[in-house]
Amino acid sequence: MTALLACHDQLGDEALALLAAEKQDTSEGRRARKARTALREAADMLLTAVQTLATVHGSAGLGVDGAVSHSADGTPVTLLPMLSTQQTLLLDAWESVQDTVDHLDTKTFPATKKNPVPAREPARTRGALLRLRDGVLALGRELDARGLGDDAAECRDSAQQLERLEVRVCPPSDRTGPAAAEAGVLQGVGR
Protein backbone atom coordinates (compact mmCIF):
# COMPACT_ATOMS: atom_id res chain seq x y z
CA MET A 1 0.00 0.00 0.00
CA THR A 2 2.89 2.37 0.72
CA ALA A 3 4.24 1.83 -2.81
CA LEU A 4 0.87 2.88 -4.23
CA LEU A 5 0.87 6.02 -2.08
CA ALA A 6 4.44 6.78 -3.18
CA CYS A 7 3.32 6.44 -6.80
CA HIS A 8 0.49 8.91 -6.18
CA ASP A 9 2.91 11.34 -4.56
CA GLN A 10 5.39 11.21 -7.45
CA LEU A 11 2.69 11.82 -10.07
CA GLY A 12 2.25 15.35 -8.71
CA ASP A 13 5.08 16.85 -10.75
CA GLU A 14 3.70 15.35 -13.96
CA ALA A 15 0.29 16.88 -13.21
CA LEU A 16 1.87 20.31 -12.65
CA ALA A 17 3.89 20.06 -15.86
CA LEU A 18 0.77 19.11 -17.81
CA LEU A 19 -1.12 22.03 -16.25
CA ALA A 20 1.60 24.45 -17.40
CA ALA A 21 1.62 22.95 -20.91
CA GLU A 22 -2.14 23.08 -21.30
CA LYS A 23 -2.12 26.88 -21.02
CA GLN A 24 -0.82 27.00 -24.58
CA ASP A 25 -3.59 27.57 -27.12
CA THR A 26 -2.23 24.90 -29.45
CA SER A 27 -2.78 21.25 -30.21
CA GLU A 28 -0.01 20.55 -27.69
CA GLY A 29 -2.01 22.39 -25.03
CA ARG A 30 -5.14 20.40 -25.86
CA ARG A 31 -3.18 17.13 -25.63
CA ALA A 32 -1.76 18.24 -22.28
CA ARG A 33 -5.27 19.03 -21.00
CA LYS A 34 -6.51 15.63 -22.07
CA ALA A 35 -3.49 13.91 -20.51
CA ARG A 36 -3.91 15.83 -17.21
CA THR A 37 -7.57 14.85 -17.05
CA ALA A 38 -6.62 11.22 -17.67
CA LEU A 39 -3.87 11.44 -15.04
CA ARG A 40 -6.38 12.76 -12.50
CA GLU A 41 -8.75 9.88 -13.33
CA ALA A 42 -5.89 7.38 -12.89
CA ALA A 43 -4.98 8.98 -9.55
CA ASP A 44 -8.62 8.68 -8.42
CA MET A 45 -8.57 4.97 -9.29
CA LEU A 46 -5.29 4.54 -7.44
CA LEU A 47 -6.63 6.21 -4.30
CA THR A 48 -9.73 4.02 -4.45
CA ALA A 49 -7.41 1.00 -4.40
CA VAL A 50 -5.45 2.41 -1.44
CA GLN A 51 -8.63 3.08 0.54
CA THR A 52 -9.92 -0.41 -0.23
CA LEU A 53 -6.61 -1.98 0.83
CA ALA A 54 -6.72 0.04 4.05
CA THR A 55 -10.15 -1.46 4.71
CA VAL A 56 -8.84 -4.97 3.98
CA HIS A 57 -5.91 -4.60 6.36
CA GLY A 58 -8.01 -2.84 9.01
CA SER A 59 -10.61 -5.59 8.84
CA ALA A 60 -7.90 -8.21 9.15
CA GLY A 61 -6.44 -6.42 12.16
CA LEU A 62 -9.87 -6.41 13.81
CA GLY A 63 -10.54 -10.04 12.92
CA VAL A 64 -13.52 -9.09 10.75
CA ASP A 65 -14.05 -10.96 7.51
CA GLY A 66 -17.50 -10.16 6.20
CA ALA A 67 -20.72 -9.98 8.13
CA VAL A 68 -24.32 -10.88 7.43
CA SER A 69 -27.44 -10.61 9.58
CA HIS A 70 -29.01 -13.80 10.92
CA SER A 71 -32.51 -14.74 12.03
CA ALA A 72 -33.20 -16.15 15.50
CA ASP A 73 -32.71 -19.69 14.17
CA GLY A 74 -29.27 -18.79 12.67
CA THR A 75 -30.36 -18.55 9.03
CA PRO A 76 -28.50 -15.81 7.09
CA VAL A 77 -30.74 -12.86 6.24
CA THR A 78 -29.58 -11.23 3.02
CA LEU A 79 -32.28 -8.55 2.96
CA LEU A 80 -29.96 -6.21 4.85
CA PRO A 81 -26.60 -4.90 3.62
CA MET A 82 -23.67 -7.25 4.12
CA LEU A 83 -20.07 -6.46 4.96
CA SER A 84 -17.77 -7.59 2.16
CA THR A 85 -15.20 -10.27 2.84
CA GLN A 86 -11.51 -9.42 2.85
CA GLN A 87 -11.08 -11.48 -0.31
CA THR A 88 -13.82 -9.55 -2.11
CA LEU A 89 -12.29 -6.24 -1.04
CA LEU A 90 -8.83 -7.38 -2.08
CA LEU A 91 -10.15 -8.26 -5.52
CA ASP A 92 -11.88 -4.87 -5.70
CA ALA A 93 -8.57 -3.18 -4.86
CA TRP A 94 -6.80 -5.22 -7.52
CA GLU A 95 -9.42 -4.20 -10.08
CA SER A 96 -8.84 -0.52 -9.22
CA VAL A 97 -5.06 -0.92 -9.53
CA GLN A 98 -5.48 -2.75 -12.84
CA ASP A 99 -7.75 0.05 -14.08
CA THR A 100 -5.09 2.57 -13.00
CA VAL A 101 -2.38 0.79 -14.99
CA ASP A 102 -4.59 0.50 -18.07
CA HIS A 103 -5.67 4.15 -17.80
CA LEU A 104 -2.08 5.39 -17.55
CA ASP A 105 -1.11 3.22 -20.52
CA THR A 106 -4.01 4.00 -22.85
CA LYS A 107 -5.37 7.41 -21.78
CA THR A 108 -2.65 9.41 -20.00
CA PHE A 109 0.28 8.26 -22.14
CA PRO A 110 -1.33 6.69 -25.22
CA ALA A 111 0.93 4.97 -27.70
CA THR A 112 0.59 6.78 -31.02
CA LYS A 113 3.00 6.93 -33.94
CA LYS A 114 2.08 10.44 -35.03
CA ASN A 115 2.03 12.22 -31.66
CA PRO A 116 3.62 10.12 -28.91
CA VAL A 117 2.97 11.41 -25.41
CA PRO A 118 6.20 11.38 -23.39
CA ALA A 119 6.29 12.17 -19.70
CA ARG A 120 6.96 15.84 -19.04
CA GLU A 121 8.75 15.00 -15.79
CA PRO A 122 10.43 11.73 -16.83
CA ALA A 123 12.51 11.09 -13.70
CA ARG A 124 9.57 11.55 -11.31
CA THR A 125 7.19 9.73 -13.65
CA ARG A 126 9.65 6.85 -13.87
CA GLY A 127 9.78 6.79 -10.08
CA ALA A 128 5.97 6.76 -9.94
CA LEU A 129 5.75 3.92 -12.45
CA LEU A 130 8.35 1.93 -10.50
CA ARG A 131 6.43 2.45 -7.24
CA LEU A 132 3.21 1.43 -8.97
CA ARG A 133 4.98 -1.67 -10.28
CA ASP A 134 6.18 -2.44 -6.73
CA GLY A 135 2.61 -2.07 -5.48
CA VAL A 136 1.25 -4.30 -8.23
CA LEU A 137 3.77 -7.02 -7.42
CA ALA A 138 3.10 -6.77 -3.67
CA LEU A 139 -0.62 -7.05 -4.34
CA GLY A 140 0.10 -10.06 -6.54
CA ARG A 141 1.97 -11.73 -3.68
CA GLU A 142 -0.95 -11.08 -1.35
CA LEU A 143 -3.44 -12.47 -3.87
CA ASP A 144 -1.25 -15.53 -4.35
CA ALA A 145 -0.99 -16.06 -0.59
CA ARG A 146 -4.80 -16.06 -0.41
CA GLY A 147 -5.04 -18.71 -3.10
CA LEU A 148 -5.98 -16.35 -5.92
CA GLY A 149 -3.25 -17.43 -8.32
CA ASP A 150 -5.03 -16.37 -11.53
CA ASP A 151 -5.30 -12.81 -10.26
CA ALA A 152 -1.68 -12.93 -9.08
CA ALA A 153 -0.66 -13.88 -12.64
CA GLU A 154 -2.58 -10.84 -13.91
CA CYS A 155 -0.51 -8.72 -11.52
CA ARG A 156 2.67 -9.96 -13.15
CA ASP A 157 1.20 -9.07 -16.56
CA SER A 158 0.37 -5.57 -15.31
CA ALA A 159 3.91 -5.17 -13.94
CA GLN A 160 5.27 -5.99 -17.40
CA GLN A 161 2.80 -3.51 -18.91
CA LEU A 162 4.20 -0.83 -16.57
CA GLU A 163 7.76 -1.69 -17.62
CA ARG A 164 6.80 -1.23 -21.28
CA LEU A 165 5.06 2.05 -20.42
CA GLU A 166 8.16 3.32 -18.63
CA VAL A 167 10.34 2.57 -21.67
CA ARG A 168 7.84 4.29 -23.96
CA VAL A 169 7.23 7.52 -22.00
CA CYS A 170 10.54 8.12 -20.21
CA PRO A 171 13.38 8.89 -22.64
CA PRO A 172 16.53 6.75 -22.31
CA SER A 173 18.62 9.83 -21.44
CA ASP A 174 16.69 10.09 -18.18
CA ARG A 175 17.37 6.53 -17.09
CA THR A 176 20.80 7.42 -15.66
CA GLY A 177 22.40 10.44 -14.08
CA PRO A 178 21.48 12.70 -11.18
CA ALA A 179 17.77 12.94 -11.99
CA ALA A 180 17.39 9.16 -12.05
CA ALA A 181 19.45 8.78 -8.88
CA GLU A 182 17.23 11.35 -7.17
CA ALA A 183 14.15 9.39 -8.22
CA GLY A 184 15.77 6.26 -6.74
CA VAL A 185 15.81 4.28 -9.95
CA LEU A 186 19.49 3.51 -10.49
CA GLN A 187 20.60 -0.07 -10.05
CA GLY A 188 17.29 -1.23 -8.63
CA VAL A 189 17.24 1.22 -5.71
CA GLY A 190 13.74 1.29 -4.28
CA ARG A 191 12.53 -1.64 -6.36
Q: What is the pLDDT of residues 9-58, one digit of tens each?
A: 999 999 999 999 998 888 888 889 999 999 999 999 999 999 999 999 99
Reported confidence tier of residue 173, pLDDT bands at 50, 70, 90: low
The gap between the terminal CA atoms of the chain, to the nearest Å, is: 14
Cα distance between residue 81 and residue 94, in whole Å: 23
CA-based torsion, 191, 107, 141, 47: positive or negative: positive
CB atoms within 10 A of CB 78: 9
Cα distance between residue 175 and residue 183, in whole Å: 10
Q: What is the pLDDT of residue 174?
A: 47
pLDDT tens-place string over residues 9-23: 999 999 999 999 998
Q: Which residues pair with 76 in a beta bridge?
A: 70
Scored b (16 or more CB within 10 A) or e, 114-141 reads eeebebbbbbbbbbbbbbbbbbbbbbbe
